[in-house]
Structure 1
Amino acid sequence: MTEKEQELIRQAEEQVKSHQTIVESDPYRLHFHLMPPVGLLNDPNGFIQWNGSYHLFYQWMPFKTGHGAKFWGHYSSEDLATWKHEPIALAPSEAYEKNGCYSGSAVEHNGQMVLFYTGNVKDAKGNRETYQCMAVSNDGNTFQKLGPVVELPRDYTAHFRDPKVWKRDDYWYMVVGAQSKERKGQVALLVSTDLTKWEHVGPIAGSNLNGLGDFGYMWECPDMFSLGGVDVLVVSPQGLSKEGWKYQNVYQAGYFIGSLDYEDVRFTHGEFVELDRGFEFYAPQTTVDTNGRRLMVGWMGVPEQHEDKHPTIRHHWIHALTLPRELTFQNGRLLQNPVAELEHLRKGEATVHRNIALSPNQLELSGVHGEVLEMELEFAPSLDWFLLSISDTAKVTYSKEEEMIHLHRLSFVDGSWEKRSCALSSLSSMRIFKDTSSLELFINQGEEVFTARIFPPLTSKQSIVFSGGGEIVNLKKWELAYAIKE
């Protein structure tokens, strides 16, 4: 580690110490989600199970609640439920990364943890250079930078970043989020035999490729994997226009199902499907663990979407990561469900209610309230409509006639009600994770997911209110413990 990197890490650690009291005094600090100790968090990076532990890195700006020259922060976990903050992994100390150690991924090779990330460089006029860089670790905590291993291929602008690496047979592959010289979003594929010498073999997907048509000016944070007999490309395209209830956020995150031809460098795929229908979800990254599960974590935020209005800024921090989710492939689509290990966070016995007849009148159930909770609901097939109100700050509404489900929240920008939606022919189940300032809703065993930051008035009652036409067959509610262990 160079003296400059040591000094940057020292400065970042000093920021954590000097702001610890005001950060931790924020009533909107989350209980069971990963957050920055100070400053801004964005993309999850380097998600991997290595030497028996899970490691999850994140983009981090410790010196302000805006974007800038990013570090890599670092959490580890033995069980995906409770997490420990580890020492800073990467700081933007070298010339090839002086404006940020941008997003990337991790693999295991010869017993080492190997990180790949984008070194971001800008000159005084804002002209950008980009390098895909490599760092290695023998202990999972201290990293030796090996410098750039990929320079910019001639087919792209300098918006070329976020390498995701995996191994197939005897070859290593890397996908990189890219922008073509024609200012169209693409995903580039590279191949290597040794992780250090990479050959660019071409774009595998993007705007105006594979019959897709115009689909954004930049594709970020690509992730390619096989699941359930198909190939899946997860990507975050920028520049999509709203289409009815689709693409309502400033930028989107979703996936394509298809088949990657490694020889002809072509990804034949279907339509783009948003991974999360809520207000805050972007730049997800997956890994596969020793149990063979495909796991995913996303950023509970969206770039340039009212980031300066979050109420946590006054306490010198902003943003969080989603809960870890397990992905499965069924009936032509990805399902997302919270990892089973999250049940370890449940405190005490569940509050249980059964066979609850709903009516247009509001109904509060004993023991079903609170600031931090998990709730499971099962509905009768006869359910016609449903309304769930949460802390006077969020509402979930469903109509069988309309075949739609909506998440409404009280805007932290102007106090108005805003909405995100998706088509849903029937509502059979709902699993809710409510934290102090977030919601994650898993609908019909992960068929649809909504994620949102919410900021209930600090004086409001933390109530859960039901109404509807039909019956809740079964309801269970748990309080949840803290997930961060020091």
Structure 2
Amino acid sequence: MTEWTREKRYQRYEEVDQQTIDILTDQVEKSKYRQTFHIQPKTGLLNDPNGLIYFNGVYYVSHQWFPLGPVHGLKYWYTYTSKDLIHFNAEGPSLKPDTRDDSHGVYSGSAFEYNGNLYYMYTANHRDDDWNRISTQHIAKVNHDGSVEKFPKAVISAPPEGYTQHFRDPKVFTKDGVFYAIIAAQNDLEQGRILQYYSTDIVNWELQGEIQTNLEAFGYMWECPDYFDLDGHDLMLFCPQGIEPSGEQFRNIYQSGYIMGQYDLNQLKMNHADFHELDYGFDFYAPQTFLDENGQRILIGWMGLPEINYPSDKDGWAHCLTIPRVLSVEEGNLKQRPIKALEQLRTNKETALGYANKFTRQLHPYDGKQYELIIDILENEATEIYFEVRTSKSQTTLITYNTRAKKVTLDRSESGKLPEHVDGATRSTYLDTPLSNLQIFIDTSSIEIFCNNGERVMTSRIFTDDDATGIKASTESGQVYLRFTKYDLKDDEG
């Protein structure tokens, strides 16, 4: 097991010899957990999605990247381009830690357009001799040849008085010709907050102040903020750290969610309802949104969490990005649906129609590990329904629906190897309406479950053996009439 000293964590990728890179790359490529239709790191660790934008007919998707191992170290941005958000071209490292201000990492940020050009705003991380953090906000221009040119100095050189150096993750948006940047912050009382800046020329940025919410004591840091208006509602996304579990809520080490209401951009006042989690699975964090070519609001998240050790770590890599989701607000509720373009990956359609009861019924003797499964519940007289995917004689990933409580539970206690430092092996969520539909995306080592056409989503990594390929359905008592539709998913161009 590699001992990740501070020196090793902060090696520059460019200074590592090619033989070491080749050995690591070969090790990663041989990993049995490698995904097929998700963005994953070439080597090392992937975390927050960054710089998401549709610009001049091309999608740009970047992610935080430590190239040398499955740990958090010296961060780069690794960038992909795409025409459809399904097939991606790896462009390689874009933003690199090559200045004094970002000597200890190019941290998260966003993309925006200005005067016909593409720009990034990001957090630069520097450590002094005593290892004190110094966070500054920078801008870089993406040239037409793909090269990145950083502005010569920080555009926001320090957090304002009353806030700590936990000051990062700028998300830029525009309104009425003015550029705004919301930035994650922590005040001197160690409470999470969001600050708002504005600019008319993207060089000179002025602080407007702290965004006012009714969440006064809600964690010690709010990471990865995002703001947008959608279907007549204003939404603010952020990731609070330090929230205690409450029933079925807030069961992960850190949370990711949103508040929805109306935002007064000038008065910095967000009138909103309760904070809601975006995803009720085990592995979802740091999402970012953007508009696609049709004006739809798209969300991509990090399928992982900090401070968790995953089974793929031993193979020299960790984490991936979620599939892109389309957001909408319908009857006052946020819905998340997989983008329609994923249908391009479908092959080998199979269907099954029939009853399931307390005697387990194998609906597909299926040999494979990457597929989309749509389950329609046509009639339900069961007290509980059990759906099993990636099953074998010794392993299974179990989805349970309790009819009376309208409760969906994901249980990965028998899904093979489990991540370390995770509290429990089940996650649950309550639906607003009775379960009528599940749309499930299975990749080699992940599952994404969309309940009731996007009413709730559950995202998790699973690390089953190669022979765990079955699909089953059964009930606790009573019977249920089901229609199963399954497609193999294959990205031939990925």
Smaller-chain TM-score range?
over 0.9
Structure 2 match to 1:128: 133
1:435 maps onto 2:433 in alignment: no
- Give the partner amino acid of 1:253: S
2:362 corresponds to which of 352, 361, 364: 364
Residues 192-242 of structure 1: CA deviation (Å, up to 9, x unaligned): 11111111111114xxxx332410000000000000001100100001000
SS at match of 1:163: strand
User: Which of 62-71 and 225-234 deviates more?
Assistant: 62-71
Tell me the TM-score normalized by structure 1.
Answer: 0.93
Structure 2 match to 1:32: 37
- Do 2:445 and 2:462's aligned partners in 1 also have CA atoms closer than 8 Å? yes
Count of residue pairs the alignment pairs up: 469
2:205 corresponds to which of 191, 194, 198: 198
**Cα distance in 2 between the residues matched to 1:165 and 1:452:** 29
User: Which of 276-285 and 357-366 deviates more?
Assistant: 357-366
- Give the partner amino acid of 2:14: R
- Do 2:52 and 2:111's aligned partners in 1 also have CA atoms closer than 8 Å? yes
**Deviation, structure 1 residue 367:** 5.3
**Cα distance in 1 between the residues matched to 2:303 and 2:278:** 13
**Cα distance in 1 between the residues matched to 2:193 and 2:423:** 36
Structure 1 match to 2:8: none
Q: Residues 140 and 189 of structure 1: is their aligned pair in 2 closer, same or farther, counting only changes over 3 Å?
A: farther
1:113 corresponds to which of 118, 131, 143: 118
**Deviation, structure 1 residue 473:** 4.0
**Deviation, structure 1 residue 137:** 1.2
**Cα distance in 1 between the residues matched to 2:37 and 2:16:** 24
Structure 2 match to 1:3: none
1:379-398 aligned at under 5 Å gives the runs 379-384=377-382, 385-390=384-389, 391=391, 392-398=395-401
1:235 maps onto 2:238 in alignment: yes
Q: Residues 10 and 196 of structure 1: is their aligned pair in 2 closer, same or farther, counting only changes over 3 Å?
A: same
1:479 maps onto 2:488 in alignment: yes
2:372 corresponds to which of 355, 369, 374: 374
**Deviation, structure 1 residue 383:** 4.7
Structure 1 match to 2:462: 454
- Give the partner amino acid of 2:279: D
**Cα distance in 1 between the residues matched to 2:16 and 2:282:** 30
**Cα distance in 2 between the residues matched to 1:214 and 1:421:** 25
- Give the partner amino acid of 2:240: P
Residues 392-441 of structure 1: CA deviation (Å, up to 9, x unaligned): 23100011123211000036147997100011241110000001100000
**Deviation, structure 1 residue 139:** 2.4
**Deviation, structure 1 residue 10:** 3.4
Q: Residues 117 and 472 of structure 1: is their aligned pair in 2 closer, same or farther, counting only changes over 3 Å?
A: farther
User: Which of 89-98 and 138-147 deviates more?
Assistant: 138-147
**Deviation, structure 1 residue 16:** 4.8
- Do 1:230 and 1:258's aligned partners in 2 also have CA atoms closer than 8 Å? yes
Structure 2 match to 1:50: 55
**Deviation, structure 1 residue 13:** 9.4
What value does the CA root-mean-square deviation take over the aligned residues? 1.9
**Cα distance in 2 between the residues matched to 1:186 and 1:159:** 10
**Deviation, structure 1 residue 474:** 2.3
**Cα distance in 1 between the residues matched to 2:84 and 2:13:** 28
- Give the partner amino acid of 1:317: W
**Cα distance in 2 between the residues matched to 1:372 and 1:381:** 28
1:10 maps onto 2:14 in alignment: yes
**Cα distance in 1 between the residues matched to 2:298 and 2:400:** 29
1:328 maps onto 2:331 in alignment: no
**Deviation, structure 1 residue 483:** 6.2
- Do 2:396 and 2:468's aligned partners in 1 also have CA atoms closer than 8 Å? no
1:203-214 aligned at under 5 Å gives the runs 203-205=210-212, 210-214=213-217
**Deviation, structure 1 residue 141:** 2.4
Q: Which sections of structure 2, spanning at least 5 residues, go unmatched?
A: 1-10
- Do 2:364 and 2:472's aligned partners in 1 also have CA atoms closer than 8 Å? no
- Do 1:32 and 1:484's aligned partners in 2 also have CA atoms closer than 8 Å? no
- Do 2:406 and 2:435's aligned partners in 1 also have CA atoms closer than 8 Å? no
**Cα distance in 1 between the residues matched to 2:306 and 2:492:** 26
1:402 maps onto 2:409 in alignment: no
Q: Which sections of structure 1, spanning at least 5 residues, go unmatched?
A: 1-6
Structure 1 match to 2:190: 183
**Cα distance in 2 between the residues matched to 1:428 and 1:283:** 29
- Do 2:105 and 2:125's aligned partners in 1 also have CA atoms closer than 8 Å? yes
2:156 corresponds to which of 141, 150, 154: 150
**Cα distance in 1 between the residues matched to 2:358 and 2:336:** 31
**Cα distance in 2 between the residues matched to 1:104 and 1:16:** 27
SS at match of 1:150: coil
Percent pairwise identity: 37
- Give the partner amino acid of 2:463: F
SS at match of 2:321: coil
